[in-house]
Structure 1
Amino acid sequence: MLKFEYATIEDRKWLQPILAASGKMGSENAFGTLFIWNESYHSRICRQDGYVLLSSGEHFHTYNFPYVADPANAGSLRDALQLLIDDAAEKGFRFQMWGMTEKEVARMEEAMPGCFEFSIDRDGADYIYNSSDLIELAGRKYHGKRNHVSKFNRQYQWEYEDVTVDTLDACREVSCEWCRQNGCDPENGLDKEVRALRKAFAHFDELKLSGGLIRIEGKPVAYTIGEEINPQVFLLHFEKALSGYDGLYAAINNEFARRNLSGYQYINREEDLGLEGLRKAKLSYHPAIILQKYRAVLKGTES
């Protein structure tokens, strides 16, 4: 039986390099995602036989695709998958995996032909953009976004600054006001985001987070915060902008990308959770990649 444990902030030192070396682009491959959301999704880690194994779920395990931690001692992918299958059986869980890419699905099928049923989780797909697109907003397809930014620049007296531990109180102020405007409670699920934000703020430097903040006439009104997944991909965890300011979301998005993200090829803006408005907003920025995520169960066991 495998022993999965909650990641601590001290685990970042050894785990982040393994996650980054995998080259994966999904939001679940950032240590910050694993750490700041673990109270809500009960994400846990296990080191076993040269692999790092991840799972989530309070009363069950949903496993992720295994990470090779020690190539010299890691067995085959079939061996790693069998570890997870056996663990689920020993604990009395239905075996299930989530978050696999199309290539990982193909590897699983090659390792254990005909053993799994696969399905796409469209609501969990990540929206990944060329950083140059979000920075430059060039061409006809970004005409509307450029207009929003231009209107914002003309209409308001604003200033931008990078988020640091010294400006986190300003971000907290924005978060509190945003919750008053939108409601942050269990009914809409935003209480989980509040808990994740608290952990992100509490461990901002240790998690190597970075972000941008906009003030209008001295008042903090918007911020964005994220982290590097790997040297090619930056992940945006949070983006909050108060209502009543035309073009504010477009402005914070563009300013942070322009000032901080030119060194990355891609920017991951996470999933849409199946929310129609959020999906429309993410599609309006013309993602370079919609990174599909797959689920897997053992054939004959899906309920």
Structure 2
Amino acid sequence: MDWKKLTIEDKETIDNFTKGKFSTCDYNFTNLFLWSQGEDLHYKIEKDVLIIQGTFVKDEYCFMPIPKDENAIGAMKEVIKELLQKNKKIVLVPEEWKEKLEDTFILEERRDSYDYVYSIESLAYLKGRKYAKKKNRVHNFMKSYNYTYEAVTPENVEEVINFQTNWCHDKECEIVPVLRNENMGILNLLHNFNTLGIKGGILRVDGKIVAYTLGEAISDEYVVIHIEKGLNGYTGSYQMINMAFLEKEFTDHKYVNREDDFGDEGLREAKESYHPLELLKKYEITGIK
């Protein structure tokens, strides 16, 4: 087949290759759809292998090709060889796939793309001394503000869209490529909230939205948090929305993947401060052995 632009109509097709097969965040359809417009994601299927490519600031890349099942792994390796021979960049290879590919290909770690995984019980209740600072921020928020928490629904999603639009304007997203691309994707997610089957949480102070988050279960054990945004000036709002969302929506799951840090030192420090259980390593395929 020819390359096809990835759209919301492709959810079932992509899910057939990816759903429930990855603990990393990248191959979940919602995550792909999030970046599909800003990074111009296209896909095609050859010999039961899904190939996805995108472009970030003129830098073209391919996701790891995904076989439909074990029988297509041989075809997957042939596709990888063809892509490398065309000098294509192949990224976001999870640890479990490295073990299946390293006899044939050269793989290099990419620390900036590691996913951070946490205990949901720990983050939903902030138990123990190591979370004392986080818990203090939550308590101070609860004492300082007349707040409410609610789930995102078809009735209030338009408010979240307006909040995100204003948040992006304040952050001058249009001049920062990753924020511009992310904002396009967030608005796409919110406009297709029901179709995607994701969950969301809203934190209000005196009726005004001050933070929101979007996430979903990607397996029986794992949840992924796609988006978390808050206003400056409401100290503790990020800690509060993080805690409340997991407690209200996902305590029947064990682990939460809060995605990568993009190599941003401030974001890395923030993610490490929540004491991850593990980092999910990812690799780039750089050559053939």
TM over 0.5: yes
Aligned twin of 2:120: 131
- Relative to 1, partners in 2 of residues 1:61 and 1:185: Cα closer, same or farther, differing over 3 Å? closer
Contact 2:84-2:287 at 8 Å conserved across structures:
no
Per-residue CA deviations over 1:227-263 (Å, capped at 9, x if unaligned) read 2322322111111110111111100110001000112
1:98 aligns with 2:124: no
Aligned twin of 1:18: 17
Aligned twin of 2:205: 216
- Structure 1 segment 227-246 matched on structure 2, within 5 A: 227-246=216-235
Aligned twin of 1:36: 34
Contact 1:65-1:104 at 8 Å conserved across structures:
no
Aligned twin of 1:248: 237
- Structure 1 segment 85-234 matched on structure 2, within 5 A: 85-87=81-83, 89=85, 93-110=86-103, 112=104, 116-187=105-176, 189-234=178-223
CA distance in 1, matches of 2:91, 2:121: 30
Aligned length: 288
CA distance in 2, matches of 1:175, 1:18: 31
CA distance in 2, matches of 1:149, 1:139: 14
Aligned twin of 2:277: 288
Most deviating of 247-256 and 12-21: 12-21
CA distance in 1, matches of 2:111, 2:174: 25
Q: Which SS does the other structure have where 1:40 is aligned?
A: coil
CA distance in 2, matches of 1:30, 1:213: 23
CA distance in 1, matches of 2:107, 2:69: 28
- The sequence identity of aligned pairs, in percent, is 28
Per-residue CA deviations over 1:155-190 (Å, capped at 9, x if unaligned) read 110111100121122212322332344221233631
Contact 2:138-2:236 at 8 Å conserved across structures:
yes
Contact 1:174-1:240 at 8 Å conserved across structures:
no
Q: Which SS does the other structure have where 2:53 is aligned?
A: strand
Aligned twin of 1:54: 52
Letter in 2 for 1:52: L
CA distance in 2, matches of 1:234, 1:17: 19
Q: Which SS does the other structure have where 1:57 is aligned?
A: strand
Give the structure-2-normalised TM-score. 0.91
Structure 2: unaligned runs, 5 residues or longer: none
Letter in 2 for 1:57: T
Report the RMSD for the aligned CA atoms in angstroms. 2.1
Per-residue CA deviations over 1:17-71 (Å, capped at 9, x if unaligned) read 431232x111112101111211222323222222323332377753333333255
* 1:283, distance to aligned residue in structure 2 (A): 0.7
Give the structure-1-normalised TM-score. 0.87
Contact 1:12-1:31 at 8 Å conserved across structures:
yes
Aligned twin of 2:68: 69
- Relative to 1, partners in 2 of residues 1:228 and 1:3: Cα closer, same or farther, differing over 3 Å? farther
Most deviating of 234-243 and 37-46: 37-46
- Structure 1 segment 4-15 matched on structure 2, within 5 A: 4-15=3-14
CA distance in 2, matches of 1:188, 1:97: 21
Contact 2:16-2:68 at 8 Å conserved across structures:
no
Contact 1:173-1:220 at 8 Å conserved across structures:
no
CA distance in 2, matches of 1:274, 1:70: 33
Letter in 2 for 1:117: I
Letter in 2 for 1:228: A
